[in-house]
Amino acid sequence: MFKYLKQLTSLVAMVAVLFTFTTESMAAKKSKTLKNTQKKGFVRCGVSQGLPGFSNADAAGNWTGVDVDVCRAVAAAVLGDANKVKFTPLSAKERFTALTSGEIDILSRNTTWTLSRDADIGLTFVGVNFYDGQGFMVRKSSGITSTSQFKDGISACTNIGTTTELNMRDFFNSKGISYEPVAFEKADEVVAAYDAGRCDTYTTDKSGLAAQRTKMKNPDEHIVLPETISKEPLGPVVRQGDAVWEDIVRWSLNTMIEAEEYGITSANADMMKTSDNPAIKRLVGAEGELGAAFGLDNDWSLRIIKQVGNYGESYKRNIADTGILPDRGPNQLWTKGGILYVPPAR
């Protein structure tokens, strides 16, 4: 009885997959996540509860941000439509459990790649979409312009469940300063408490500080101190154990970055099909069979570029034009003095 049921479900699944994609391959059969995603018709993506520039919902419930764009790129690649994403806002505390328990399939929520997270808790980091570092924000009126002016008894507002809490302790310990950590579960409450004057400083990733600053009652009253106290490579995460899905997410991100490197944008992607450069032709699906390895058609990367844009477009749209961090800093291509460097798509 069970045997037939199982066969029946896999038959239904296969028919559903065949309807959306004619190129059913071994890879798709091997990846449960890919199969489920194509069956459901949307990518299940975990994002933040509202961090401008990274993942933020407007009043109509439309999500935007560089983290959001990673999920949209995956949707464009595997489903053909970048809008077929179901976003689940998660607190820092909930995010990993949501991923490991199978509630979401990609976690793209300004999450720091660390050894213990990668190795310990059933997660796999697929890459870095933003190089960040932890910093401090203070009130301009305090006269503090550097962390060297911090004194014993300083109170610091932050989020629980992040690397921030650990870095903060390392930092204050190494300086020999006693401090009062005030840790909230949600970012909005951290901002509210700091804004009210509960804390002397607010500490989190610098991109987060820049983004949250725009939410303050009077953003001009606050400054981000120049010091960076940690390395925070932020990137998308998937569940351990589905290598094909992992590859799809990794190369969706890589495609966006490499497209920028070769000057392929959402506007000129179709024209690039006739380019002389074989690397460009491969990225827009005019040469090679790159999609087959994931069980996807050959236009998967073209769709990403056309529907979501390259990394530079995504950064400009979400982070630079919104005034959060106009300067790309380390998040510039390696060819332009940054550290964004991805393996070649071939």
Return residues touching another protein (CB under 8 A): 92-93, 96-97, 100-101, 116-117, 120-122, 138-139, 141-144, 149-151, 153-155, 157, 160-162, 165-166, 168-169, 173, 179-186, 189, 192-193, 196-198, 200, 239-241
| Burial of 13 from C-beta contacts in 10 A (0-12 / 13-18 / 19+) | middle
Select 72 or 222, whichever has its Cβ closest to another protein.
222
Tell me how far, at minimum, the Cβ of 61 lies from another protein, in Å: 23
Select 6 or 169, whichever has its Cβ closest to another protein.
169
Rounded-to-integer distance, Cα 239 and Cα 125, Å: 9
Select 63 or 194, whichever has its Cβ closest to another protein.
194
Tell me how far, at minimum, the Cβ of 33 lies from another protein, in Å: 12
Tell me how far, at minimum, the Cβ of 50 lies from another protein, in Å: 16
Select 166 or 339, whichever has its Cβ closest to another protein.
166
Dihedral of the alpha carbons of 29, 30, 34, 38, in degrees to the nearest 10? 10
Rounded-to-integer distance, Cα 331 and Cα 310, Å: 13
Per-residue tokens: 82: 């970048």
Nearest to 115 by CA among 125, 103, 106: 125
Rounded-to-integer distance, Cα 76 and Cα 338, Å: 27
Residue pair 136/225 in contact by the 8 Å Cβ criterion: yes
Residue pair 119/204 in contact by the 8 Å Cβ criterion: no
Select 157 or 259, whichever has its Cβ closest to another protein.
157
Tell me how far, at minimum, the Cβ of 76 lies from another protein, in Å: 27
Tell me how far, at minimum, the Cβ of 266 lies from another protein, in Å: 36
Per-residue tokens: 292: 């087959």
Select 56 or 158, whichever has its Cβ closest to another protein.
158
Select 120 or 321, whichever has its Cβ closest to another protein.
120
Tell me how far, at minimum, the Cβ of 116 lies from another protein, in Å: 8
Tell me how far, at minimum, the Cβ of 71 lies from another protein, in Å: 21
Tell me how far, at minimum, the Cβ of 2 lies from another protein, in Å: 16
Rounded-to-integer distance, Cα 303 and Cα 210, Å: 31
Nearest to 302 by CA among 345, 335, 331, 243: 345
Consecutive H or E run containing 196: helix 187-196
Give the helix ranges, DSSP H, for 41-162. 66-79, 95-100, 115-120
| Positive or negative torsion for Cα 290, 292, 298, 299 | negative
Select 180 or 289, whichever has its Cβ closest to another protein.
180
Per-residue tokens: 73: 């790129």
